[in-house]
């Protein structure tokens, strides 16, 4: 039976980075993944260019950009491996990058460059990489093959059994099952009595059913900048981003962002012309314009949206001068505060991340190790830490992986006759 210092399950962003960093510290590391292709989520992210971090991330205030039962949990890891540290690694490997907007950083050429860099880091650490390789079962023994009191793990794989003092779970969430997402990490947590926070899709398009959505279904493909919000008072969350109409509902950055804060049954409020004082603009247009209301409205919102909106009331299907003042006020109020209740979301097949996961109260924020289960670590998306759209989830992957890699115990003198 082969013996390793650490086995990392999951060769995504967190697993690849952790394995490489641990290997470079001198640990004998095995990296396992069941999927045919390595790091498929990196490959498809950011339109194939990988939005690998966000420059606006503030490690001192993680609650600004992360959700979960305790967003402060990630402060320690984020402060020890910041966006600038990952940028330095890219530059060391000669990978060109650029900033789009709102601090979002992308590879100039391709996400493949980032995957190649992570694999090169693994090679530099002498990491053994078995992929595709499935894990059949895992057992913990309080007395390990190392002859230490730390205990160890026997991992039975379809390439045979291995032993390791440390086991790192980097299996991600449930998002995008077609590229290999499973609940393996959550089942492993349950096996070892590690509590879980309820999971649901995050950064996901929202859907609407029935007659209430009928007037807007024709707008599929239309995008416009909006302010979107949900919640009340101190729980209110708002974003100014682009909204995209789809056949089944709403998507685009605005909706993906708000979906992580939206609670089923709660309304969304959308300002369709942020920055415009519509009551004043429409009142002024009524005094001077002979155009139809829809034509005037198209100055401030896309014409397809203007046409769909005015079709809902005969009062609005008139020249400006003939529209009653009350009808104009009603129109302005609706466009500035379009309230609607989603019936659901597009689910894990379209979700970029998974909300919930391994309860952070069960983990050390310094090392990612389970407090009650020695040698078992959880990193990346499998943990109840979810970032905003725009590179924040990748930065959590890098930072949690780095914290774990630095904490993994170094190899000890092996007992005579240990197999290799």
pLDDT in tens, 203-249: 999 999 878 888 899 999 999 999 999 999 999 999 999 999 998 99
Question: What number is the average pLDDT over the span 42-50?
Answer: 96
DSSP character string of 79-146? HHS-HHHHHHHHHHTT--EEE-STTEEEESS-HHHHHHHHHHHHHHTT-EEE-S--EEEEEEESS-TT
pLDDT in tens, 268-308: 999 999 999 999 999 999 999 999 999 999 999 999 999 99
On the question of pLDDT at 193 being above 90, the answer is: yes
Q: What is the pLDDT of residue 413?
A: 58
Across 10-14, 70-74, 215-219, 297-301, least confident range: 215-219
On the question of pLDDT at 109 being above 90, the answer is: yes
On the question of pLDDT at 62 being above 90, the answer is: yes
| pTM attached to this predicted model | 0.94
What percentage of residues in the chain have a pLDDT greater than 70? 96
CB within 8 Å of 100: residues ≥ 6 apart: 51, 106
Question: What number is the average pLDDT over the span 63-74?
Answer: 97
pLDDT band for position 414 (50/70/90)?
A: low
Pick the closest to residue 380 from 185, 120, 248, 152 (CA basis).
185
Question: What number is the average pLDDT over the span 20-49?
Answer: 97
Q: What is the pLDDT of residue 412?
A: 73
- With contact defined as beta carbons under 8 Å apart, do 111 and 97 qualify? no
On the question of pLDDT at 97 being above 50, the answer is: yes
Question: What number is the average pLDDT over the span 347-358?
Answer: 98
Token digits for 198?
């309820």
Q: What is the pLDDT of residue 150?
A: 59
Q: What is the pLDDT of residue 140?
A: 97
Q: What is the pLDDT of residue 215?
A: 86
Q: What is the pLDDT of residue 296?
A: 96
Q: What is the pLDDT of residue 420?
A: 46
- CA 36: distance to chain centroid? 22
Question: What number is the average pLDDT over the span 383-393?
Answer: 98
Per-residue CA distances from 254 to 224, 230, 257, 268, 272 (Å) = 10, 12, 5, 11, 12
* Cα dihedral 15/21/25/27 (nearest 10): 20
Mean pLDDT of the chain: 95
* Strand pairing class (338-340; 268-271): antiparallel
pLDDT in tens, 121-167: 999 999 999 999 999 999 999 875 555 545 799 999 999 999 999 99
Domains of the chain listed by start with CATH number: 2-201+347-407 (3.50.50.60), 206-345 (2.40.30.10)
Q: What is the pLDDT of residue 33?
A: 98
Element spanning 167, H or E: strand 160-169
């Amino acid at each position: 039976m082969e013996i390793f210092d650490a086995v990392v399950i999951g060769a995504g962003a967190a697993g690849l980075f952790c394995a490489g960093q641990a290997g470079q510290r001198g640990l004998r590391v095995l990296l396992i993944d069941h999927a045919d292709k390595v790091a498929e989520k990196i490959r498809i992210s950011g339109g194939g260019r990988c939005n690998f971090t966000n420059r606006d991330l503030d490690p001192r205030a993680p609650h600004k950009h992360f959700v979960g039962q305790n967003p402060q949990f990630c402060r320690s890891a984020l402060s020890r491996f910041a966006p600038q540290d990952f940028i330095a690694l890219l530059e060391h490997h000669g990978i060109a990058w650029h900033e789009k907007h709102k601090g979002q950083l992308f590879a100039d050429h391709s996400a493949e460059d980032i995957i190649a860099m992570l694999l090169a880091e693994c090679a530099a650490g002498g990491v053994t990489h078995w992929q595709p390789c499935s894990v059949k079962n895992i057992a913990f023994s309080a007395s390990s093959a190392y002859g230490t009191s730390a205990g160890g793990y026997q991992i039975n794989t379809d390439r045979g059994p291995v032993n390791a003092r440390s086991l790192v779970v980097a299996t991600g969430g449930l998002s995008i099952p077609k590229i290999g997402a499973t609940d393996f990490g959550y089942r492993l947590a349950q096996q070892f009595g590690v509590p879980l926070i309820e999971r649901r899709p995050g950064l996901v398009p929202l859907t609407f059913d029935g007659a209430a959505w009928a007037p807007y279904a024709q707008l599929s493909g239309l995008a416009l900048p909006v302010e979107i919000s949900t919640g009340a008072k101190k729980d209110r969350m708002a974003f100014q981003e682009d909204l995209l109409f789809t056949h089944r509902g709403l998507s685009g950055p605005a909706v993906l962002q708000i979906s992580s804060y939206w609670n089923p049954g709660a309304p969304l409020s959308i300002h369709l012309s942020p920055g415009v004082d519509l009551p004043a603009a429409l009142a002024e247009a009524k005094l001077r314009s002979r155009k139809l209301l829809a034509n005037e409205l198209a100055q401030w919102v896309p014409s397809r949206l203007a046409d769909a909106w005015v079709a809902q009331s005969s009062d609005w299907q008139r020249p400006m001068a003939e529209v009653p003042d009350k009808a104009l006020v009603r129109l302005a109020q609706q466009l500035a505060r379009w309230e609607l209740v989603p019936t659901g979301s597009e689910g894990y097949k379209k979700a970029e991340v998974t909300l919930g996961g391994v309860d952070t109260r069960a983990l050390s924020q310094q090392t990612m190790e389970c407090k009650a289960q020695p040698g078992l670590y959880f990193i990346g998306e499998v943990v109840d830490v979810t970032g905003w759209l725009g590179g924040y989830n990748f930065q959590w992957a890098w930072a949690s992986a780095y914290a774990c890699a630095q904490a993994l115990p170094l190899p000890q003198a092996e007992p005579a006759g240990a197999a290799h």
